[in-house]
Structure 1
Amino acid sequence: MKTADKKPVVIGYVTGYSGLVNQDQIAADKLTHINYAFVNVKNNQAYLDNYKRDSTNFVRLNSLKRKNSNLQILISIGGWSWSENFSDAVLTDSLRKGFAKSSVDIIRKHKLDGVDIDWEYPGMPGEEGNVYRPEDKQNFTLMFEAIRKELDILEKETGKKKLLTTATGGFPSFLDKTEMGKAAKYLDYINLMTYDYYSSKQAGHHTNLYDSKTYPSDNSADKAIKAYMAAGVPASKIVMGIAFYGRNLKLSTTAQKGLGDTIASTANSYGKGYTFLKDSVVNKKGFIEYKDEDAKAPYLFNTETKQYISYDNEWSVANKCDYVLKHKLGGVMFWEYSSDKNGYLLNQITKSFK
């Protein structure tokens, strides 16, 4: 099978930190991969923060293979809150070897299929208090090399392919602090977090495919993907991120149209999931849905309350999937599964990739 003929991957992040996973609510037949979020980094090792909960979740997620025998289950290490110790954990050869071994030991023990690294961010600040240093640039690559070596050992033991993927910043400056062209050699997929874009002054889109003409945007999925390809990452390994949640802004009292208007506050900017938005908010309670045709991004604006919400809907997701097919990218991933319990967006992805 030639790479070009491969069906795009559909990678869903499923969270375990909020409790036990209800596997009956996961449409296993519509996914190719599940990335279990998150595994912590502690004492320079990959560490299950709540062993009882996490190990139960692994059993539950593995049970989905009865519905889809090709489904792959990966652990995702790090995330926004647990990235502070990456820099220390991969500082030297021996530390990297230990970290790689501890990561692969988790998937060995729990019969999983791969490791996903979500380091936010090498060489630059993520959450306040995170350790980062210039050497992260090379160590990021060397970490993947070390994990790949350990996965190769596990492949020989099990006779099964084991995957190495990463979630990366969906903005070009991420590429200044990393060697993604080199790192890509060790990676099966690079999941671009092409969401959480927003400016501090004007209401913009948080997960737009293209630039908006209404307001000047630094970021878009298209810009990020082109930058990654220019940095030497093969299109077939690039996975575009889709947001299953919205972001809310409160705009100034003079706001007229929403997009491009002045932001008054970003309090509670982390919005609700798409199921809630579609069922309870879109074109209800004063919220009108608009389409930015240039950016291929929808938004909601309430002229009374001056609330503005940016999100992905079926239309924007269809445009993203078309882009993936047109540019022969690896596929799509989304954050995160439980934000769209009714499966509106996942159904659209399935339809687009049919």
Structure 2
Amino acid sequence: MHHRDSSERSSRGLKSLGYFGNWDIYAADYFVTDIPAENLTHLVYAFANVNATTGNVFLSDTWADLQYPYSGDNTSAPGNNVYGNIKQLYLLKKKNRTLKTLLSIGGWSYSPNFPPMLASDEYRQNFVDSAIELVADLGFDGIDIDYEYVTGQDQAEQMVDLLRRLRSGLDNLANSIKASSPFLISYCSPAGKTHYSQLDFAGMTPYLDYYNFMAVDYMGPSFSNYSGFLANLYPDATNLRATDFNTNSGILDYIWNHIPPKMILIENPLYGRSFNGTDGMGDKFSNAGTLGSLGQAGILYYKDLPLPGFDATVVNVPRIGGSYSYDAQNRYLVSHDTPEIARVKADYVRLMGLGGTAWYELSMDRNDTLSLISNTVSHLGGTQALEKTLNNLNYPTSTYTNLRSGFPDE
């Protein structure tokens, strides 16, 4: 079994994990160099894909990942060199020795490629071998699995087998290259009972370092009957139509399933969802409306709120750990978190003895005093309350000349 004393689960301090999308360098104009590393312990790079006909894991955008020239990159230097976001992630680890990076495989769009991979013994091994090769080549500290969602007993067993092989392979890699810390495996796990009841928690937990409990998208204009809260901690007994789901009931079930609370991170949204043509929270609505960040109707990044030209009143409901803003004139409601609710959720992490928080995703937060991440970290005790374990900088088997040598002059 994988209960190692040196592993993350026994380390002191809270985790603060942020997702960075490799697509962020385009429309969002957000780069690895913009990441607030001081407020993070883990940085998850999203998303690698899976080849459904071989099981191999592969990078989804090699230009952004390996080639995009950042300022100061000498792309004509001799050797087989890596640039792009991957180089910058390594440099960020050099500057912040307790920041660990993980490669996330899957996500909503690529999840349909998982079932054929899981169903084949050979493909599962290909998945593991190729994932480990990416860690060794690109300088990651671990792998994040984001398959939405495991369905049925066969897949549940196949996922346990996949994690068992991945754990064994990553431990072997760490030993062979004398890594500073063990390599990590995290699992993005659902908040809804219909989905998490499919998982073999007892089988999975020994191979994982933590679960990212996806406390997001509880209600939204494309899948809910009424306007509602996106990421509330508790149900609202006075307005049940507004809380189809809640975080607390899922967390209690996870703990009931013998998952140590310290192994659970609550993933919070750095975006809101809009309900247009509604008289308020827990009410009928017409649609999502036409507005949205970067042209995504119905999805509004936290940093883009409040919307210009709207007269929205922010409503915090601390007793349920939820918040929203509402413009009565335009009958337009956005469900999103606020600094006050971020602090309420930080208190919940402490109350339940959880491992920390995760954020989806970094480009959507504000970078001022209203930042949800920095409000959470400071409420939990500041950066000194965060976990401090060394990342690994030693990747002697990397195919990339400059990464293998550790970017000596940078």
TM-score by length of 1: 0.90
| Structure 1 portions without partners, runs of 5+ | 124-132
User: 2:374 — aligned with what?
Assistant: 347
Contact 2:33 2:88 in 1 (8 A): no
**1:49 is matched by which residue type in structure 2?**
S
Q: Alignment partner of 1:241: what SS?
A: strand
CA distance 1:304–1:321, change in 2 (3 Å):
same
**Aligned 1:1-354 pairs, distance under 5 A:** 6-19=12-25, 22-42=31-51, 43-55=54-66, 56-123=84-151, 134-160=153-179, 161-198=182-219, 200-216=224-240, 217-252=243-278, 255=279, 258-267=280-289, 270-278=298-306, 280=307, 285-342=310-367, 344-354=371-381
CA–CA distance in structure 2, aligned partners of residues 149 and 5 of structure 1: 21
CA–CA distance in structure 1, aligned partners of residues 250 and 264 of structure 2: 10
CA–CA distance in structure 1, aligned partners of residues 349 and 10 of structure 2: 12
**Superposition RMSD on alpha carbons, in Å?**
2.0
**Distance apart, 1:34 and its partner CA:** 0.4
CA–CA distance in structure 2, aligned partners of residues 187 and 267 of structure 1: 40
**Distance apart, 1:263 and its partner CA:** 1.9
The Cα offsets for residues 29-68 of structure 1, whole Å up to 9 and x where unpaired, read as: 1100000010011131111122232122111111112331
**Distance apart, 1:341 and its partner CA:** 3.9
| Structure 2 portions without partners, runs of 5+ | 67-83, 291-296, 382-410
TM-score by length of 2: 0.78
CA–CA distance in structure 1, aligned partners of residues 286 and 57 of structure 2: 41
Quick one: higher RCO (CA 8 Å, sep 6+), 1 or 2? 2
Contact 1:175 1:231 in 2 (8 A): no
**Distance apart, 1:202 and its partner CA:** 1.6
User: 2:293 — aligned with what?
Assistant: none
CA–CA distance in structure 2, aligned partners of residues 317 and 289 of structure 1: 14
CA–CA distance in structure 2, aligned partners of residues 267 and 154 of structure 1: 50
Contact 1:90 1:96 in 2 (8 A): yes
Q: Alignment partner of 1:263: what SS?
A: coil
Q: Which has more strand, going by share of residues? A: 1
CA–CA distance in structure 2, aligned partners of residues 301 and 285 of structure 1: 9
CA–CA distance in structure 1, aligned partners of residues 150 and 327 of structure 2: 38
**1:289 is matched by which residue type in structure 2?**
V
The Cα offsets for residues 60-114 of structure 1, whole Å up to 9 and x where unpaired, read as: 1111123311110100000010111111112133221111111111011111100
Large movers: runs of 4+ above 4 Å: 1-5
Aligned residues: 338
**Distance apart, 1:352 and its partner CA:** 1.4
Contact 1:299 1:308 in 2 (8 A): yes
User: 2:393 — aligned with what?
Assistant: none
Percent sequence identity is: 26
CA–CA distance in structure 2, aligned partners of residues 204 and 59 of structure 1: 41
Q: Alignment partner of 2:105: what SS?
A: strand
**Distance apart, 1:251 and its partner CA:** 3.0
**1:338 is matched by which residue type in structure 2?**
S
CA distance 1:88–1:309, change in 2 (3 Å):
same
